């Protein structure tokens, strides 16, 4: 899917392909601005999706590199869902969507291209599926990712 206006992509178009697991890199790293991390908890992190379906699309990620929910310990599964609950609350407070989609893409046939499992939380607005993605294979994001990340960090800090 194309972006109409995506200035942040030039960083990646011009840079080297990341090696290893970008989610483990985000977990290990301290540069939350660069990795778009908006919240951390003992067993999860939450970060903005760099190629979002909508503004505020985050991924809640177990801090341990696993590629399937069946590999999660019970406390890791509970932490993942608790992270999703916090993401819903923070996105609601910051962006006021009309609804959400939540989901896991497991395996390449299901659309996953990342080995490290992650739970998508996608805010939705009434009418957000308009003619642009349907007919033009083009999305319009009304806000740059860094602005959304700042709003969400503020919202998480008040939970």
67 is a site residue for Zn ion (CB under 5 A): no
Q: Is 118 a catalytic residue?
A: yes
Q: Which of 57, 116, 118, 120 is catalytic?
A: 118
Dihedral angle of Cα 27, 31, 33, 34, to the nearest 10 degrees? -80
Exposure pattern of 129-158 as b/e (b: 16+ CB <10 Å)? eeeeeeeeeebebeeebeebbebbbebbee
Which stretch, 16-24, 53-61, 80-88, 145-153, contacts Zn ion (CB under 5 A)?
A: 16-24
72 sits near Zn ion (criterion: CB under 5 A): no
Our finding on whether 65 is near Zn ion (CB under 5 A) is: yes
Binding of residue 116 to Zn ion (CB under 5 A): yes
Q: Identify residues 20-59 at the interface with Zn ion (CB under 5 A).
A: 21, 23-24
Active site residues: 118
Question: Residues in the site for Zn ion, rule: CB under 5 A?
Answer: 21, 23-24, 65, 116
């Amino acid at each position: 899917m194309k972006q109409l206006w995506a200035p942040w992509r030039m960083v990646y178009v011009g840079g080297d392909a990341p090696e290893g697991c970008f989610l483990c890199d985000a977990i290990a790293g301290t540069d939350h601005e660069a990795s778009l991390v908006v919240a951390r908890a003992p067993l999860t992190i939450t970060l903005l999706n760099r190629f979002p379906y909508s503004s505020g699309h985050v991924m809640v990620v177990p801090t341990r590199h696993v590629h399937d929910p069946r590999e999660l310990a019970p406390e890791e599964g509970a932490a993942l869902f608790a992270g999703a609950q916090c993401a819903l609350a923070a996105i609601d407070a910051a962006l006021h969507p009309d609804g959400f989609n939540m989901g896991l893409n497991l395996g390449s046939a299901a659309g996953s291209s990342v080995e490290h499992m992650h739970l998508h939380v996608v805010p939705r607005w009434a009418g957000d599926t308009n003619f642009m993605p349907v007919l033009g294979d083009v999305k319009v994001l009304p806000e740059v990712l860094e602005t959304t990340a700042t709003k969400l960090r503020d919202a998480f800090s008040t939970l």
